[in-house]
Amino acid sequence: MTLAPLQLDLRRTTLFKGARIVASYGMAAVLALALARLLGLGPQERELTLMLAANMALWACVSEAGRSRLHGACLLVLLCVAFVLGAGSFAWLSGLLTHAGVVAPEFALLIGAAAVGGLRRFGSAGAGVGSQFYIGQMLAWSLGLRADHLALLLVAGLASVGAALLARGLLTEFIPPQAPAAPEPPGPDTLTAIEMGLQSGCGALLVLALDALVGLKEPAWAVTACVYVIAGSPAQTLARGRQRMVGTVVGVALGLAALPLVYRAPWLAWVGSAAAMMLYTTALAARYDLACGAFAFTLMVTLAAQGEHSLAVLAARAWETLLGAAIAMILARVLRVLRVRRAAGEAGP
């Protein structure tokens, strides 16, 4: 058995992007806190605004792939708007579902789950918008966002846009105007994108149904793993599922091993998280397993630094991520069987 090469993307543009991701998170938190204090918000509202803004800016910078400063800035604004719409739609729809008493409010996530796969038809920009919409919904669910929090969401959006644009302006490699831009690879065709959206939605529905039956500790992460493992073909989905499982197990193990240091010196968690997010950026294109490991490690140590000391909760982040990836892989195998049978039927006797 041979180990795969690291295949990290260490180009200057990628390293600058990693630095933007880390910087935008911190700057958005500072700007959100300043705006919240200026508006006289209470401690709970300030914390909620800070969490929304920091995550919005971070994932906008992850998804942004602009060809120039102006193009990148426009994409960042669009991605932040998608996040606000996702979080706002969840807060509104979950309130309606709770009032109606028909289904659990988290079933509003199905819209975002389908958007992640369906919008890939429109290239990297569409994939980023779908991802941001879903992340906004998921964070609104995790933070318990309600319809009366929409004003806080707008404040967080302003802070996030400002921080992301500032990071984009300060931490961008200068590229001469005459340098030709690399053509963007085409997205999947419309039928494949619709199929991916339905797969993502069905996977999320299965996770939420399982949560309703047995009560998962962190179902949001199972849904997320399922949604992001889905790829353009069953073979790619199976490969990404295996990579996500391996990366998550290794990342969680390293994160748990680092907990004693984090408890003694919480600042080490943020240093380690920044380094892990840089690794995430450089590994995402070619080594999905490394990227998933870096993300899992970041999640473990930041949760511990924020006061989460329950090993049961921390472990749930791991095994429920594995559950979501497994559900996506099962759906991929079912789809593969259906395609083979359909092809055999079209071929005739």
Q: Could you tell me where the beta strands, DSSP code E, fall in the chain?
A: none
Question: What pLDDT does 107 receive?
Answer: 82
Same domain, 134 and 232: no
> What value does the mean pLDDT of the chain take?
83
Determine the residue type at 226.
Answer: C
Average pLDDT over residues 274-288: 84
Same domain, 136 and 231: no
Please say which residue of 119, 138, 173 terminates a domain: 173
pLDDT digits (tens, 9 = 90+) for 293-330: 999 898 888 887 777 667 777 777 788 888 999 999 99
Same domain, 249 and 159: no
Same domain, 160 and 201: no
83 vs 19, which has greater pLDDT?
A: 83
Torsion of CA 137, 121, 321, 147, to 10 degrees: 0
**For the chain, what percent of residues have pLDDT higher than 70?**
87
Please say which residue of 109, 143, 173 terminates a domain: 173
The answer to the question of residue 348 being in a domain is no
Question: What pLDDT does 333 receive?
Answer: 87
- Give pTM, 2 decimals: 0.86
106 vs 295, which has greater pLDDT?
A: 295
pLDDT digits (tens, 9 = 90+) for 148-161: 889 999 999 999 99
Same domain, 158 and 228: no
Q: How sure is the predictor about 172, in pLDDT bands with cuts at 50, 70 and 90? A: confident
What range defines the domain where residue 317 resides? 188-343
- How many domains, the chain? 2
The answer to the question of residue 333 being in a domain is yes
Same domain, 131 and 221: no
The answer to the question of residue 215 being in a domain is yes
Q: H-helix or E-strand containing 158?
A: helix 150-170
Query: Judging by beta carbons within 10 Å of its beta carbon (0-12, 13-18, 19+), is residue 133 exposed, middle or buried?
Result: buried
Average pLDDT over residues 12-29: 83
Of 206, 295, 309, residue with least CA distance to 262: 309
Average pLDDT over residues 63-69: 83
**Cα distance between residue 256 and residue 327, in whole Å:** 25
In the 8-state DSSP scheme, what is residue 53?
H
Same domain, 155 and 204: no
Question: What pLDDT does 60 receive?
Answer: 93
The answer to the question of residue 181 being in a domain is no
Question: What pLDDT does 46 receive?
Answer: 92
In the 8-state DSSP scheme, what is residue 313?
H
The answer to the question of residue 180 being in a domain is no
Q: How sure is the predictor about 190, in pLDDT bands with cuts at 50, 70 and 90? A: confident
